[in-house]
Amino acid sequence: MKVLFRSRIDTDAALSLTASLADRLAARGVEIAFDAGTGAALGRPGEPIGTTDADTVVCVGGDGTILLAVQEMARQRPILGVNRGEVGFLADLEPEEAPAFLDRLVEGFAVEPRMRITFSLDGRVLGTALNEAVIVTSRPAKMLRFSVLIDGLPSAQFRADGLIVATPTGSTAYAMSAGGPLVDPRIEGFLLVPLAPYMLSSRPHIISSDRRVEVALESSKPAHLVLDGQVQFEIDGRAVLRVERAEESALFVDVGRTFFEKVERKLRRL
Residue 246 has pLDDT above 80, yes or no: yes
What's the average model confidence in pLDDT over 34-42? 97
Q: In what order do the strands lie in the sheet with 124-129?
A: 124-129, 117-121, 240-245, 213-217, 144-150, 153-160
Which of the four pLDDT bands, split at 50, 70 and 90, describes residue 268? low
Q: 2-114+249-267 architecture in CATH?
A: 3-Layer(aba) Sandwich (3.40)
Fold classification of 117-245 is Tumour Suppressor Smad4 (2.60.200)
pTM: 0.92
- 59-105: per-residue pLDDT in tens? 999 999 999 999 999 999 999 999 997 767 899 999 999 999 999 99
pLDDT at 129: 97
Residue 182 has pLDDT above 70, yes or no: yes
pLDDT at 266: 73
pLDDT at 8: 95
Residue 191 has pLDDT above 80, yes or no: yes
Domain locations in the chain?
2-114+249-267, 117-245
Q: Which of these is catalytic: 10, 53, 63, 210?
A: 63
Q: Which H, E and C letters describe the chain, residue by residue?
A: CEEEEEECCCCHHHHHHHHHHHHHHHHCCCEEEEEHHHHHHHCCCCECHHHCCCCEEEEEECHHHHHHHHHHCCCCCCEEEEECCCCCCCCCECCCCHHHHHHHHCCCCCEEEECCEEEEECCEEEEEECCEEEEEECCCCCCEEEEEEECCEEEEEEEECEEEEECCHHHHCHHHHCCCCCCCCCCCEEEEEEECCCCCCCCCEEEECCCCEEEEECCCCCEEEEECCCEEEEECCCCEEEEEECCCCEEEECCCCCHHHHHHHHHCCC
Mean pLDDT lowest among 114-128, 201-215, 219-233, 255-269: 255-269
pLDDT at 142: 83
What's the average model confidence in pLDDT over 192-197? 94
Residues contacting 113, CB < 8 A, separation 6+: 249, 250, 251, 252
Residue 202 has pLDDT above 90, yes or no: no
Indicate if 35 belongs to the active site.
no
Strand 56-61 relative to strand 79-83, pairing: parallel
Mean pLDDT lowest among 13-17, 129-133, 217-221, 241-245: 217-221
pLDDT at 201: 80
Q: Above pLDDT 90, what percent of the chain?
A: 84
Residue 1 has pLDDT above 80, yes or no: yes
Question: Mean pLDDT in the chain?
Answer: 93
In contact, 148 and 215? CB cutoff 8 Å: yes
Residue 259 has pLDDT above 70, yes or no: yes
What's the average model confidence in pLDDT over 129-136? 96
Which of the four pLDDT bands, split at 50, 70 and 90, describes residue 144? very high
Distances in whole angstroms, Cα of residue 88 to Cα of each of 60, 85, 92, 156, 229: 10, 6, 8, 33, 15
Residue 269 has pLDDT above 70, yes or no: no
Q: Above pLDDT 70, what percent of the chain?
A: 99
